């Protein structure tokens, strides 16, 4: 008979296996940009819309484990950092031809577009503006009583 030895969870070494990044065979993808007055969010997806990576100004590490909070996330400086991070992720996935879709108006919008367009490793095929436009809009508040 074998003697069973109880081992606590702290004694068992657990190592998470590293996720293997699958390269996209076509090398084509879409970068979705959402720009607000408080944050900049970029998504990298396949052509069919499956999200591969999401980067926001709050998730970008500036070194020394410092992360930006508050309205400082909406600055053009942070927008360039977000753009550089999404470009790095696109290269990891083997994406070279991208379609750039931007939505809303924010402080970092122009800098992100400029940074992605001048990147040598990415070929921007189309640039689409998906900013919603109101047609008539909501009913205005009533006029004040005189």
pLDDT at 90 (0 to 100): 94
Confidence at residue 82, expressed as pLDDT on a 0 to 100 scale:
94
Task: Note the CATH architecture for domain 28-61+68-129.
Answer: 2-Layer Sandwich (3.30)
In the chain, where are the structural domains located? 28-61+68-129
Q: What is the pLDDT of residue 9?
A: 61
Q: What is the pLDDT along the chain (146 residues), one digit of tens a residue?
A: 566 767 666 666 666 666 677 888 888 999 999 999 999 999 999 999 999 999 999 898 887 787 888 878 889 999 999 999 999 999 999 999 999 999 999 889 999 999 999 999 999 999 999 999 888 888 989 999 98
- Residue 14 has a pLDDT of 64
**The pLDDT value given to residue 11:** 63
The set of residues, in sequence order, having a beta carbon less than 8 Å from that of 139 and lying 6+ positions away, is none
Give pLDDT, residue 63.
77
pLDDT at residue 71, rounded to an integer: 79
Torsion of CA 41, 126, 103, 75, to 10 degrees: 50
Beta strands in 1-146 (DSSP E): 28-35, 40-45, 51-56, 97-103, 123-129
Q: Are strands 28-35 and 97-103 parallel, antiparallel or unpaired?
A: parallel
Query: Could you give the C-alpha distances from 42 to 13, 34, 56, 58, in angstroms and in order?
Result: 36, 6, 6, 12
């Amino acid at each position: 008979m074998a003697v069973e030895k109880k081992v606590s969870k702290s004694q068992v070494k657990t190592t998470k296996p590293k996720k293997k990044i699958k390269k996209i065979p076509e090398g084509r993808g879409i970068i979705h940009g959402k720009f607000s007055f408080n944050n900049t969010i970029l998504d990298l997806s396949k052509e069919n819309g499956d999200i591969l990576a999401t980067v926001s100004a709050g998730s970008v590490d500036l070194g020394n484990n410092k992360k930006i909070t508050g309205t400082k996330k909406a600055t053009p400086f942070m927008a360039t950092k977000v753009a550089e991070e999404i470009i790095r992720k696109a290269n990891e996935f083997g994406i070279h031809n991208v379609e750039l879709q931007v939505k809303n108006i924010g402080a970092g919008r122009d800098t992100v577009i400029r940074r992605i367009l001048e990147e040598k490793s990415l070929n921007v095929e189309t640039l689409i503006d998906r900013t919603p436009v109101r047609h008539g809009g909501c009913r205005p508040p009533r006029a004040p009583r005189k």
